[in-house]
Amino acid sequence: MSHNRQKKIAVINDFCGFGRCSLTVSIPIISAMKIQCCPLPTSIFSNHTGYDSFFYTDYTEHMNSYIAEWEKLGLHFNGILTGFLGSPHQISIVKAFMEAFRGGDTVTVVDPVMGDNGKLYRTYSPVLAEQMASLVPFADILTPNLTEACILSGTEYEADMDHSKLSDICEKLSARGPKKIVVSGLERGEDLENFVFESGKPPLVIREHKVGPCRAGTGDVFSSVIAADCVNGIDFSEAVCHATSFISKVLRRTTQLGIPTEDGICFEEFLTEL
């Protein structure tokens, strides 16, 4: 019996019951793009940490047993997407997972969720950031924001970094493995910019008008669309354009509906358009 007749993406991230982020974003988006989404939870939250209160369970001790059952089934993944990882042990588990499940046609996307605005998130330590850097060589595609790109490349953070410096950062990161990188969410006045790097090609800049404040889970939508498109054979730059325009459209609708910032973006209204 073969369980590998349909395209599949393994998504390694936390599960968040409310707040539209992580696995509860990736599962519907990847499914809508005609790929089976296979979640591997790293932790379980009632709602994400942007709320005043939340319930949380660490899933680290169960991850290897969970993965072992997938090995018994002989699963093959066309894509692997990683998101928030909360400990060095989880990063080690993810590296072992990639070594076990990556095939020659597997697209590996690493979204290095570590920080923003020049600082690590409060749940992140310098040791954990160093461990995250060890995951970079496993990535075909890397989707950091500017803070994460600077941390991973050992570059001093500048909020208004020019394209030449961004190219230098991407060259440094690409030399360690990933040939496709997008530095996302660059603030450019009233616009947001995504800087697209592909080894051997001129960089591409994709710009959209900024709509409202930053919202939870937007990066998860972004990386999920890119992962699914690339598994479906779409060119990387086209995938980034697709993800950017989709999020821009959803943000406009989210603002119209007056959705609270911490509740994320109402992507459900546009799933059939993916």
Task: Collect contacts of 212-215 with beta carbons under 8 A, ≥24 apart.
Answer: 212/251, 212/254, 212/255, 212/261, 213/261, 214/185, 214/261, 215/251, 215/254, 215/261, 215/262, 215/263, 215/264, 215/265
* Tens digit of each residue's pLDDT (9 = 90 or more) over 185-242: 999 988 999 999 999 999 999 999 988 888 989 999 999 999 999 999 999 999 999 9
Domains of the chain: 8-273 (3.40.1190.20)
Return phi, psi of residue 193, to 5°: -125, 140
Report the pLDDT value the prediction gives residue 1, as an integer from 0 to 100: 64
Give me the residues paired with residue 38 across strands.
10
Report the pLDDT value the prediction gives residue 122, as an integer from 0 to 100: 80
Residue numbers in the chain where pLDDT is lower than 70: 1
Report the pLDDT value the prediction gives residue 60, as an integer from 0 to 100: 97
Structure tokens at 49: 């940490």
